[in-house]
Structure 1
């Protein structure tokens, strides 16, 4: 079975989640339990301080993304400045969900930034050296997230355990960047 929206097979995705459990086992002892105990269900919990919106949904069941749930995730993670919606890369949504489960918290992520339109990215780039010209946010492949119950280091370790993309620690601003690009990490 091949999911054409991500170009990844079910076997590859399940392999990635299995690798998450093995890699994270020394630090996150419940990772293997998450994979066995939850079955093949993926859930995403977030809120936006910018829009006041919240989502708490199962977006994947037994090897299939739920179309309406994915649409809702795309809308929720839109560029709130321009209201532009982009199809988010589901690999990144999977990384976010897996990292959240590894941290064993019921607190939803606070979404600081999901999709960014080129206009928004250019504006942010003019104000900060930390905004990439070709940011993965503009491709729907990145999110900046915060949890009040976990430190930036704890969040970054959970995301890095997924080995699915880039993880940036922004301790001064109290958030973690997660993307589904090349596996790498940065920040303090």
Structure 2
């Protein structure tokens, strides 16, 4: 004999089925972010951009599913701050940042120094900064970000990224940032 279904339970299932699909496609994302953040499989990021003074806090994934509207927001936020050109950021980079923050048990937003970089900006930086900018920088592919984390020593941030073993890690103590990327595992 089957148990009768409680009316609220069926309404919740209907919301999670239909409404959940709308949320994931981004139709209700701005209104839904607080609700998404409370879900047990939600992955979120908080970022402050040091050059644009913009701030962003959002849920970018639920379980294994990335939230398309959140990825669009992150692509815009991490645009080349010199040219305004936005690129497509590698969603695995967001997972990497999320894991670093969990590893460090940090609550503060990451401070972003550089995300996406256009080829033209990369070339200009290579010729005007006296080195330190790679010719084939993963920033141009949306696979790299330069960050720091308030309240966390720069060396601890570097060590947490290295411990994950998920990509490249560059340590820039003079410039006060750590570079992380989703390329091959390496360090400098």
For CA contacts below 8 A with separation 6 or more, give which structure has more relative contact order.
Answer: 1
TM-score tier by shorter-chain length is 0.7 to 0.9
Map of 1:13 onto structure 2: none
Query: What is the CA RMSD across the aligned residues, in angstroms?
Result: 1.2
Deviation at 1:148, TM superposition (A): 2.6
- Could you state the TM-score of these two structures normalised by the residue count of structure 2? 0.76
* Runs of 4 or more above 6 Å deviation: none
Matched, 1:56 2:70: no
Q: Give the total of aligned pairs.
A: 149
Map of 1:145 onto structure 2: 147
Map of 2:100 onto structure 1: 99
Q: Which of 166, 180, 183 is the aligned partner of 1:181?
A: 183
2 CA distance for matches of 1:84 and 1:128?
24
| 1:115 partner SS | coil
Contact 2:109–2:150 (8 Å) recurs in 1: no
5 Å-filtered alignment, 1:90-129, equals: 90-126=91-127, 127-129=129-131
Map of 1:43 onto structure 2: 44
Map of 1:159 onto structure 2: 161
Query: Which structure has the larger Rg over C-alpha atoms?
Result: 2
- Could you state the TM-score of these two structures normalised by the residue count of structure 1? 0.76
1 CA distance for matches of 2:50 and 2:136?
25
Contact 2:47–2:111 (8 Å) recurs in 1: yes
| 2:86 partner SS | coil
| 1:123 partner SS | helix
Unaligned runs of 5+ in 2: 1-38
